Structures are given as structure tokens and as C-alpha cells.
């Protein structure tokens, strides 16, 4: 069954759906003889993201960020709390990016910057809501894909923008990201919809990261493509990932429909949706940049494990293997990416141990 973690962004006086990530149960992710190391996380209440960097594990939780020592598994410190003061989060931290010299935490319409030891450095107001996408420093500039609200309350993603040091738009460097993910729940007290709404069960994978003052934009709409830009938004190169096309099997369709009909939301939400499935999965469904390497996750699987393709920063293939143990969330792949991390060629992911009622960090 697993546990749900939900993120929201406040924009223009409205609470806008930003994404739902499913933390799987521990029993769903690994066979008993897999040799996986497990670190219990008893302090975690409702995790939304995990990041691992240089011996530290950062868990973005319900109201703060928990920092664990990777070697001992012990809690080192906590960062922030819910509030409106310096270093506090309006409704809890929304997302985290770990840079070599600082932590950048997404909050409601601002980012907060901390030293690696958790000391608060300052905050920067973001120009618009970024939805599920981060607003990040890149060299002397910033990068973001703002999320705009129409007059009717619906959302639309703007093009990728480079902002200057004063957070003013400087250059459009990438086309619009589509608004993806499930529709927001109906307002309280509203009646059932008049008819069914088509809802895509598998969406394109589109995301970006910043590493070494470069922007890496993954976009499965253009096939297995990762575009690389410098800090000023100038295109440096395109990396074509050698990923095979994977058809959507009938068993997957049947499983998704079965899960929806068994859900407690069936009568209120799912019964009024018409699930739509494409013929094939996106060419890739996740990526990370770590240690001078790009790790690409695909929908191909073997013996219950998903494929990981490793490339250097120029796009040369360093290896392919089936070793990712968790089924990707094909409906919200951007938020699924928050539930795992890759560091030093090891995979880290969050799981929920239902018998013990505790969250765990699994390492493979």
C-alpha cells in the first residue's frame, strides 16, 4: 500500500496542486536476499524527498528537513520549522537541492538558503510560482519554469527563463513545459461532474537539474533527449540517450485500473475519470547528475528491476544495467524523482515499513 506525500503551492490566493509522490512499502521494493542496507528513520513523519551528499542524508519532511549521518544512520540535526520567520517555512519545505557549498530549499514563492550545517543564510523571493519545478541559482543567474494561473483558475507553464542576480527575467532559453499530473480534487461540497474526464495515466517525463553552473533539461517529448545549457541559457549540446522503446503491457493497464477501483477515492474522484494509456512508456522516466555522471532511468525491466543507463557529461555511454528496484510513478515522474537519489553509484530510496510503522532509507 505504501504512504502518500502531497505537496501544494500557494499562488494568487489559491492552493495549486503541485504533485503527489508515492513512497512504496518496504515489502514492495526488494527480495529478502538482495543485500540492501536499511537505515530506520524513526523521526520522519511524512517525507516528500530524499537527497544524499557526501556522507549526509537529507529528508524533506512534513515541517522541516532532517539530516542523518549516512555511516551511523543517526540523526545529526534538523533544519527549519513551520512559521514565517527567517529560516522558517510557511507550510513546510517543498523541495531541496544540495549544492557543494549550500542548501537551497523551496518554500511558497521564495527559496531559502542554508549553509551545509543548517545555518540560515538568507532568502530570495521567486518572481512567480514555480509549481512542481524548482527555482535555482546557476552561476551568477537563476533559472526557473514559472507556473501561471489563468483567470479561470487553471494553470499553464511558462517557458524556461534565465533571471539575473536581481531576479529579473533575462532570457527565454527553453520552450514551455506542459502542465501534467492528475487534476486537483473537487472543491468541498461540490457535486459530481456531469461526465467523465479523460486523464492520462502515463505522461511525458520533463525535468531539469543544475550541476557545475550548467542546466540539464530532460524532455522525453523529443525522444530520449537531454539538453545542456550554460548559466546564461546558451545551448551547449544535446545528449541523445540510447534507450529502447518499451510498450505498455496489458498487465500494467489492468493493475492501474484495479488499484483505482479499490481506492477509497473511487466514488468521489476516479469513477468520473476515463483513464487513457499510450502505446509505449516515455523513452526515459528519471535522471540524476552526480559525480560527473548522468544516470538515466528507463521503463525497461528485467527480473523485477528497472534499467539504469550511465553516461558521462558529454553523453558517452559508460554502462547499462538492471538495478533500480522501485516501479516508477509514470503519472507524476517529476515528483517520483524526489523519492530516490543516486550518490557514488549507489541508489537510495525511501520506503515505508508497514509492520513497524516506520519510514526507512534503503541503499543498494
Lowest mean pLDDT among 128-142, 144-158, 271-285, 320-334: 144-158
Q: When comparing pLDDT for 22 and 79, which is higher?
A: 79
Q: Do residues 234 and 170 touch, judged by C-beta distance below 8 A?
A: no
CA distance 272 to 194: 9
Name which of 262, 257, 273, 263 is nearest 193 in CA terms. 273
User: Of all helices (H) and strands (E), which one includes residue 242?
Assistant: none
Query: What integer pLDDT is reported at residue 303 of this predicted model?
Result: 94
Residue 51 clears pLDDT 70, i.e. is over it = yes
Q: What is the reported pLDDT for 28?
A: 61
Tell me the pLDDT band of 34, cut-offs 50, 70 and 90. Answer: low
The pLDDT assigned to 177 comes to: 83
- Residue 70 in this model has a pLDDT that exceeds 90: yes
Q: What is the pLDDT of residue 31?
A: 52
pLDDT greater than 70 at residue 154: no
Q: What three-state secondary structure class fits 331?
A: coil
26-35, 62-71, 168-177, 223-232: range with lowest mean pLDDT: 26-35
Burial (Cβ within 10 Å: 0-12, 13-18, ≥19) of residue 184:
middle
pLDDT value at 232 more than 90: yes
Contact status, residue 321 vs residue 267, Cβ threshold 8 Å: no
Q: Is the model's pLDDT at 347 over the cut of 70?
A: yes
**Three-state DSSP class for residue 233:** coil
Cell of 330: 509514470
Q: Where are the alpha helices (DSSP H) in 244-293?
A: 250-262
**Residue 253 per-residue DSSP state:** H
Give the per-residue pLDDT at 128. 72
Residue 20's alpha-carbon distances to 4, 23, 93, 132, in angstroms, are: 7, 10, 15, 10
What confidence tens digit (pLDDT) does each residue in 8-31 have?
A: 333 333 333 333 345 776 666 655
Residue 183 has pLDDT above 70, yes or no: no
Reported as a single tens digit per residue, the pLDDT across 200-215 is: 999 999 999 999 999 9
> How does 66-99 read in b/e, with b if 16+ C-beta sit within 10 Å?
bbbebeeeebeeebbeeeeeebbbeebbbbbbbe
pLDDT tops 70 at residue 151: no
Q: Supply the pLDDT for residue 189.
A: 62
Cβ atoms of 232 and 215 within 8 Å: the answer is no
Q: Which three cell numbers stand for residue 223?
A: 525522444
Average pLDDT over residues 266-271: 88
Residue 226 has pLDDT above 80, yes or no: yes
Instruction: Give the contacts of 153 (CB within 8 A, at least 6 positions apart).
Output: 14
pLDDT mean over 267-292: 93
Q: Are strands 273-276 and 197-200 parallel, antiparallel or unpaired?
A: parallel
Domain 3-183+193-363 has CATH 2.120.10: yes
Residue 33's pLDDT is 47
* Predicted TM-score (pTM) of this structure: 0.88
Q: How confident is the model at residue 195 (pLDDT cuts 50, 70, 90)?
A: confident
Exposed, middle or buried: residue 197 (CB in 10 Å: 0-12, 13-18, 19+)? exposed
Per-residue pLDDT, 188: 63
Is 158 in contact with 175 (CB distance < 8 Å)? Answer: no
Lowest-pLDDT range, 64-68, 108-112, 179-183? 179-183
Q: What percent of the chain has pLDDT over 70?
A: 85
Answer yes or no: are the C-beta atoms of 135 and 126 closer than 8 Å: yes
pLDDT at res. 79: 97
The residue-averaged pLDDT of 75-95 equals 94
Q: Tell me what pLDDT residue 6 has.
A: 35
pLDDT above 90 for 153: no
Q: What pLDDT, on a 0 to 100 scale, did the predictor assign at position 7? A: 37
Q: Are 342 and 364 in contact (CB under 8 A)?
A: no
Rg for the chain (alpha carbons), in Å? 20
- Residue 8 has a pLDDT of 34
d(CA 115, CA 158): 31
Across all residues in the chain, what is the average pLDDT? 87
What is the phi/psi pair of residue 336, to 5°?
Answer: -60, -35
pLDDT at residue number 148:
73
Amino acid at each position: 500500500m505504501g504512504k502518500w506525500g502531497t505537496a501544494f503551492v500557494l499562488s494568487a490566493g489559491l492552493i495549486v496542486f503541485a504533485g503527489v509522490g508515492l513512497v512504496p512499502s518496504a515489502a514492495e521494493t526488494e527480495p529478502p536476499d538482495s543485500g540492501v542496507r536499511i537505515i530506520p528513520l524513526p523521526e520522519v513523519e511524512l517525507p516528500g524527498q530524499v537527497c544524499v551528499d557526501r556522507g549526509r542524508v537529507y529528508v524533506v519532511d512534513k515541517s522541516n528537513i532532517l539530516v542523518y549521518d549516512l555511516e551511523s544512520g543517526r540523526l545529526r540535526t534538523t533544519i527549519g520549522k513551520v512559521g514565517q520567520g527567517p529560516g522558517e517555512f510557511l507550510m513546510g519545505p517543498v523541495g531541496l537541492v544540495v549544492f557543494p557549498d549550500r542548501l537551497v530549499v523551496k518554500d511558497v514563492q521564495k527559496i531559502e538558503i542554508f549553509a551545509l550545517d543548517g545555518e540560515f543564510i538568507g532568502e530570495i523571493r521567486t518572481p512567480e510560482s514555480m509549481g512542481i519545478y524548482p527555482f535555482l541559482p546557476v552561476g551568477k543567474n537563476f533559472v526557473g519554469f514559472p507556473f501561471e494561473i489563468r483567470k479561470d483558475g487553471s494553470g499553464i507553464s511558462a517557458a524556461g527563463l534565465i533571471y539575473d542576480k536581481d531576479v529579473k527575467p533575462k532570457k527565454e532559453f527553453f520552450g514551455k513545459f506542459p502542465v501534467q499530473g492528475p487534476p486537483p480534487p473537487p472543491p468541498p461540497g461540490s457535486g459530481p461532474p456531469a461526465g467523465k474526464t479523460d486523464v492520462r495515466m502515463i505522461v511525458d517525463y520533463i525535468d531539469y537539474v543544475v550541476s557545475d553552473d550548467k542546466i540539464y533539461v530532460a524532455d522525453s517529448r523529443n525522444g530520449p533527449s537531454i539538453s545542456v545549457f550554460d548559466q546564461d541559457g546558451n545551448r551547449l549540446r544535446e545528449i541523445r540517450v540510447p534507450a529502447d522503446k518499451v510498450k505498455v503491457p496489458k498487465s500494467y493497464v489492468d493493475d492501474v485500473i484495479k488499484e483505482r477501483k479499490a481506492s477509497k477515492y473511487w466514488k468521489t474522484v476516479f469513477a468520473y475519470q476515463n483513464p487513457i494509456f499510450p502505446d509505449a512508456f516515455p523513452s526515459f522516466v528519471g535522471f540524476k547528475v552526480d559525480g560527473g555522471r548522468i544516470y538515466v532511468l528507463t521503463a525497461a525491466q528485467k527480473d523485477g528491476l528497472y534499467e539504469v543507463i550511465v553516461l558521462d557529461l558529454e553523453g558517452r555511454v559508460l554502462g547499462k544495467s538492471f538495478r533500480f528496484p522501485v516501479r516508477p510513478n509514470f503519472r507524476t515522474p517529476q515528483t517520483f524523482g524526489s523519492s530516490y537519489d543516486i550518490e557514488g553509484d549507489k541508489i537510495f530510496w525511501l520506503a515505508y515499513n508497514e509492520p513497524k510503522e516506520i519510514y526507512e532509507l534503503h541503499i543498494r
